[in-house]
Amino acid sequence: MMEQKCIGKVTATESKPTTCTSVYFWLSPDVIIRPFDLVRIEHISGDGSGKSYSYAIVRELSYITDSAGHLANYVSSDFGDITAQPMNERLGTTIAEADVLGNNRNIEMPIRDGARVEWAGPDEIRDALGVANLQQPIPGGYIQTSNKEEIRIDFEARYLVGPEAAHMNISGISGLASKTSYAMFLLSALQQRMPNDVSIILFNVKGPDLLAIDQPSTSLSDAQKDEWHKCGLDPEPLENVTYLYPYAKRQERCFTSSHAPKDVIEAQIQQDRAFNYYYDVETFKGGEAGNETDVGRDKMSLLFSDIDDPQSTMESCIQELGDIQAETWDKLREEIRAKTAKGQAGPKEIPVQSWRKFSRLIRTRTTHDVFSSLWPGEGRRQKLVVDAIKELRPGKILVVDIAPLPDYLQCLVFGDVIRTVFDAKLDLYESINREDLGRVVVFADELNKYAPSSTGSRDRTLTRWLLEVTERGRSLGVVLFGAEQFRSGIHSRVLGNCSTDVFGRTNPVELSKAADYKLFSQSNRSTVTRLNQGQMLLQHSVFNTSLIKVRFPYPAYRQLQG
């Protein structure tokens, strides 16, 4: 291996010895280095001939001087004269503290004092980080080292979308963390690298952000395109996208309440890629032949997932719905109302008071236009969610717009999609062949709405479903990519099942609240509060280090403004 320029030497002292996992080195005064840079360090060889190289990632930098204390520096300025100009520069040096990642001859002995420290080359860095020789690499960004190297960082597909491990979580504060941009970059990478294996469902949760993801960005500069190339990807928008908008009785708005510009929707309709989803009564009673009837009933409870039901009376009411004969929402509401009258015939397991509460809630929560029946003709482009999922295939993307819906309806739609995909993968739908869907990646922003951290009481329906998806999904091929502002707001088991974690910029309050950040080193904690847009810290099962700081490219699709 060629000898590189020496940038420093290892220092091992009585109080700070080198260990199998950590090493300290002082730096030549002209060297600029930063945390997350990778270095190689000369080490002994096992057979006594030649030498081996250990690789280490810089964790912390400190500058030390021989000053015995701050007071010595005060005295050194003529006892506090701020205009004093010292004739002598105090003896000092930068000490780097680094985590040892491995050794090219598998030597695990602590590195010796005085060992040469050099920059690691690109191939060595990939090897040291554990991202070389992956079976199916999925680009996750690239790192920039202080010596001007740019190295692609890959995820291993088996650990990103299953079956070995799966699920990803992205966290970071709004506006600065670029969570959605990173998720879209990764989905683009999956579509480009695994077009025959992965299908994607994503939810548009705010404004019209993700409603033109198949249109190219017109503002992408050459430098931004070059960033895509550094990741081994083409700077292209996503392909094969179908949009599902919430149905509304607004003919002038293409029968949807979506925030997407009308011309965008019209263009998508022309290409037969935009539909309006709705909920008919049958959906909640078991939409089609097969054994999914109970599934439909479960979905009704999503409408009330934000309402406490300690006695499970609402759950009982929902179970009773199966016996109600109704084909329209008006008829259903009428039938339920009928149960609120005194003197009901038959067994009275559910008190009238409970039916009254249930009736009241059903009335208020099913007034949205999305609760509709199928209208004749194709002008309204109505589609049931289950039908849209039936048509999902590897390489295709389904965008579900839930931005215009109130929170409880967002939960309903999200839960419905997740449950339908999960049930399809469990072969509960006769009309869906689970193999046809491929591995389904579901991306949802604002995960805290759907899987909030446990409060001690019983988890609500949607959270329970998400737990099931994250615990069993990797083997079935249902993968959740979630994003949220604060990790502390997410159910710990949902987070715990993620094999990949992406950390965007966050604030110190969150650092003190979320348990995961407590395991970060002090410098990493500091880094995560200072990340720029376009930078993320990655944690992935196959990496040899706990965190890698990467850059990722600017979105290549058209971002609609709200």
Which spans of this chain sit near another protein (rule: CB under 8 A)?
Answer: 66-69, 71-73, 75-79, 84-91
Which of helix, strand or coil describes residue 129? helix
How far apart (Å, rounded) are the C-alpha atoms in residues 459 and 533? 35
**In the complex, least distance from residue 63 CB atom to another protein, rounded to whole angstroms:** 15
Q: Which of 29, 27, 62, 61 is nearest to 41 (CA)?
A: 27
**In the complex, least distance from residue 69 CB atom to another protein, rounded to whole angstroms:** 6
Q: Cβ closer to another protein: 72 or 338?
A: 72
- Report the length, in residues, of the chain: 562
**In the complex, least distance from residue 26 CB atom to another protein, rounded to whole angstroms:** 14
Q: Cβ closer to another protein: 81 or 323?
A: 81
Q: Cβ closer to another protein: 32 or 75?
A: 75
255-267 b/e (C-beta count within 10 Å ≥ 16 → b): bbbbbbeeebbee
Q: Cβ closer to another protein: 86 or 406?
A: 86
**In the complex, least distance from residue 27 CB atom to another protein, rounded to whole angstroms:** 15
Q: What string of DSSP letters covers 252-289? A: GGTTB---S-HHHHHHHHHTT-EEEE-B-GGGGT--SS
**In the complex, least distance from residue 113 CB atom to another protein, rounded to whole angstroms:** 14
Q: Cβ closer to another protein: 73 or 367?
A: 73
> Is the sign of the CA dihedral 245, 247, 252, 258 positive or negative?
negative
**In the complex, least distance from residue 79 CB atom to another protein, rounded to whole angstroms:** 5
What is the DSSP-derived secondary structure letter of residue 376? S
**In the complex, least distance from residue 162 CB atom to another protein, rounded to whole angstroms:** 57
Question: Are residues 428 and 292 in contact, defined by beta-carbon separation less than 8 angstroms?
Answer: yes
**Helix orientation angle between 461-476 and 407-425, rounded to the nearest 10 degrees:** 30
Strand residues in 340-459 grouped as ranges (E):
382-383, 397-401, 439-444
Q: Cβ closer to another protein: 31 or 267?
A: 31
Which tokens go with 174? 């709004």
Q: Cβ closer to another protein: 67 or 215?
A: 67
How far apart (Å, rounded) are the C-alpha atoms in residues 431 and 70? 75
